[in-house]
Amino acid sequence: MDKDGIAMALIVQKYGGTSMGSIERIEHVARKVASWKQQGHALVVVVSAMSGETDRLLKLAKSIDPRGNGREFDQIAATGEQVTIGLLALALQKLGVPSRSYTGWQVPIHTDDAYMKARIQKIEPERLLADCKAGIVPVVAGFQGLGPDGSVTTLGRGGSDTTGVALAAALKADECQIYTDVDGVYTTDPRVEPKARRLDKITFEEMLELASLGSKVLQIRSVEFAGKYKVPLRVLSTFVEGPGTLITLEDTQMEEPLISGIAFNRDEAQITITGVPDRPGIAAAILGPVGDANIEVDMIVQNVGGDGHTDFTFTVHRNDYERTLELTRRIAAELAAKGVSGAADIVKVSLVGVGMRSHAGVASKMFKSLAAAGINIRMISTSEIKISVVVDEMYLELAVRTLHKAFGLEERQAA
């Protein structure tokens, strides 16, 4: 951006729920924004609701309609961010920084009509750019948009990250900074492994895997968006100064670490149908009705038995567990299978690293380390840059720490 002949950077900063968690914290964020502005940068700020607020709002909605997830849920959930944009704009004004708050529909940020998981389709950046040119700092509500029929929509939990990145793309910003309560992306969640180490850099591809496999530090869609539109993305702390973690396009000069990080997902549940007559079409007969019921299946394993029967195991989101179990019992009866069992107390633990492409032996080292720690593996799935295992939930911390140590993640310098 060029103003009065002085080249300035246009930066989108997103502040998460913890950073917005109290009036003191909002005033702290206002001081940070003011200092960036003083350095001559143009800023567009995106904020989340106060921490815990979206949970509280959704709980209220569920207390009336436990199964609903349509238009009114979004109407309710979106109010959390409407409060914090106003508060931050006030705090900035108090510091003498001209600021104006915008809801998603005032920008507007257009989305499709998939309530609770809407996708951004188009952003009209003109108002925000005009503010920047006039020296005003726009504060935009994360997580929300305007549906095709004029309804309020929300982008899925953690969706303010995606608002930040999408705005940075639409505004052709020089950088998108995601400010949170950790000072970057770590080798694993520091809440589970205190020895986790901050990464200076990570590739989009690895970050996307980590996010998809359960690392909630960035919403999956924000990483997809940043990769697609090549938005320079950095994760930093609101509370401590530091360089944070840069999410980069793949850099061939970078020495590729074997493993970059460990992700885990507590949201899984496992269903097994035993003694299914082994004939063509069995997988479709089981998973067809599950898919028709809008239940997303994650991992699938089928064992071929010697007696003409097979066992079929798959995982679904824990929220869908009861529903899937019920449905699977009906399918099992139709197929004359022997039985159905399930477990909702399981987790998925995954190793991610682009270095896996060129190195064999990662899987066997993973399995050996888990075995030595006495952890039984229930399921395994692999792809080019990740290996996932399903284990009992009680082993989550032990599995993460065992693997973190086995792959030397605590010592190695960031690539």
Any contact of residue 48 with ligand ADP (CB under 6 A)?
Answer: yes
Binding part of the chain for ligand ADP, among 57-65, 183-191, 302-310, 318-326 by CB under 6 A, reads 183-191
**Separation of alpha carbons 125 and 128, rounded Å:** 5
> CB 222 → ligand ASP: shortest distance, Å?
9
Among 13, 18, 48, 187, binds ligand ASP (CB under 6 A): 48
- Say if residues 247 and 202 touch (Cβ distance below 8 Å): yes
Binding part of the chain for ligand ADP, among 17-25, 290-298, 348-356, 357-365 by CB under 6 A, reads 17-25
**Separation of alpha carbons 103 and 82, rounded Å:** 6
Residue 14 vs 197, nearer CB to ligand ASP: 14
Is 104 annotated for ligand binding? no
Any contact of residue 49 with ligand ASP (CB under 6 A)?
Answer: yes
Binding part of the chain for ligand ADP, among 148-156, 182-190, 226-234, 351-359 by CB under 6 A, reads 182-190
**Separation of alpha carbons 239 and 182, rounded Å:** 8
| Residue ranges in 57-86 that form contacts with ligand ASP under rule CB under 6 A | 80
DSSP string for 94-162: HTT--EEEE-TTTTTEEE-S-TTS--EEEE--HHHHHHHHTT-EEEEESSEEE-TTS-EEE--TTTHHH
- Say if residues 367 and 402 touch (Cβ distance below 8 Å): no
Burial of 126 (0-12, 13-18, 19+ CB in 10 A): exposed
Q: Compose the 300-319 pattern: x for residues touching ligand ASP by CB under 6 A, - for all others.
A: --------------------
DSSP string for 234-280: EEEESSS-S--EEEES--TTSPPPS--EEEEES-EEEEEEEEEE--T
Any contact of residue 189 with ligand ADP (CB under 6 A)?
Answer: yes
> Which residues, including other chains, have CB under 8 Å from residue 10's CB and lie 6 or more apart?
1, 41, 42, 43, 44, 132, 171, 172, 173, 174
Is 161 annotated for ligand binding? no
Tokens of 88: 């931050």
Residue 71 vs 157, nearer CB to ligand ADP: 157
Among 138, 158, 214, 244, binds Mg ion (CB under 5 A): 158
Among 54, 215, 238, 248, binds ligand ASP (CB under 6 A): 54
> CB 119 → ligand ADP: shortest distance, Å?
19
| Residue ranges in 129-188 that form contacts with ligand ASP under rule CB under 6 A | 142-143, 157-161
Is 16 annotated for ligand binding? yes
Q: If contact means CB under 5 to 8 A according to the sort of partner, which of ligand ASP, ligand ADP, Mg ion, none does residue 257 touch? A: none
Binding part of the chain for ligand ADP, among 73-81, 86-94, 129-137, 212-220 by CB under 6 A, reads 212-220
Any contact of residue 17 with ligand ADP (CB under 6 A)?
Answer: yes
Residue 317 vs 365, nearer CB to ligand ASP: 317
> CB 158 → ligand ASP: shortest distance, Å?
5
Beta-strand relationship, 6-7 and 144-146: unpaired
Q: Which of 138, 149, 60, 59 is nearest to 103 (CA)?
A: 138
What is residue 176's three-state secondary structure? strand
Residue 115 vs 186, nearer CB to ligand ADP: 186
Tokens of 329: 């019992």
Is 386 annotated for ligand binding? no
> CB 285 → Mg ion: shortest distance, Å?
39
Is 216 annotated for ligand binding? yes
CB atoms within 10 A of CB 252: 5
Tokens of 46: 């995106």
Kindly report the backbone phi and psi dihedral angles of residue 169, in degrees, each rounded to the nearest multiple of 5, phi listed first: -65, -45
Residue 85 vs 331, nearer CB to ligand ADP: 85
- Say if residues 376 and 391 touch (Cβ distance below 8 Å): yes
Q: If contact means CB under 5 to 8 A according to the sort of partner, which of ligand ASP, Mg ion, ligand ADP, none does residue 157 touch? A: ligand ASP
Number of residues that bind ligand ADP (CB under 6 A): 18
> CB 20 → ligand ADP: shortest distance, Å?
8
**Separation of alpha carbons 347 and 396, rounded Å:** 7
Tokens of 8: 């300035």
Among 191, 228, 230, 266, binds ligand ADP (CB under 6 A): 191
Beta-strand relationship, 99-102 and 137-141: parallel
Residue 143 vs 321, nearer CB to ligand ASP: 143
Residues annotated within the binding site for substrate are 54, 81
Residues lying near Mg ion in the complex (CB under 5 A) = 16, 158
Residues annotated within the binding site are 14-17, 54, 81, 180-181, 186, 191, 216-217
